[in-house]
Amino acid sequence: TSPTHNYSITLGESGCIKVWDYVRKEVAYTETFSGKGTCLEHVPFTEGNKGRVFAAGFDNGIVRIMSVTADGIVILKAFKAHEDAIAGIKYSDDLTMCVTASKTGDVFFFEIDALTDSQKYEPLCTIKLPDDAGVTDFKWNKDDKSVLFGCNTGYVY
């Protein structure tokens, strides 16, 4: 759900993204992309993005950064972050880092500047969790800017 506007965004396995206007009770915009949709994350609100920017991950390893505008869904940036399906995309509280994780445990950190440049995603580093990890969820630790990963094995990394 948008942090500031009357819409929600959905991403289907068909690769279809829909923007639902929940006040009018109708689909405002729809776009279909290659790959099955696996995750969706709104970029936290800033004066620059007005709460309209979101990231979508796909099973082909592609991440698309998009914006909801008066004309529809606009791609701001697209890049291949992983060789396999994206399990999730998260942003640091200060909006200077983004992390993506694949379902097989590959983790990619990006330096970003979500306050002024929604297209900046500079690769910073990558790590590999144990082969049997199977990332299920993750979040930023606000205290020390680390990332905690929940995995199929029951372990947290």
pLDDT tens sequence for the chain (157 residues) = 888 889 999 999 999 999 999 999 999 999 999 999 999 999 988 888 888 999 999 999 999 999 999 999 999 999 999 999 999 999 998 899 999 999 888 999 999 998 888 889 999 999 988 876 778 888 888 777 788 887 777 666 6
How much is the pLDDT for 61? Answer: 96
CA gap 106, 100 in Å, rounded: 8
How much is the pLDDT for 157? Answer: 61
How much is the pLDDT for 130? Answer: 81
How much is the pLDDT for 47? Answer: 85
Asked if residue 64 lies in contact with residue 58, where contact means CB atoms within 8 angstroms, the answer is yes
What would the two tokens of residue 146 be?
A: 């680390």
How much is the pLDDT for 100? Answer: 95
How close are the terminal C-alpha atoms of the chain, in Å?
29
CA gap 82, 114 in Å, rounded: 21
What would the two tokens of residue 64 be?
A: 């698309």
How much is the pLDDT for 143? Answer: 74
CA gap 59, 95 in Å, rounded: 25
Amino acid identity, residue 114?
Answer: A
CA gap 127, 112 in Å, rounded: 18
Asked if residue 107 lies in contact with residue 129, where contact means CB atoms within 8 angstroms, the answer is yes
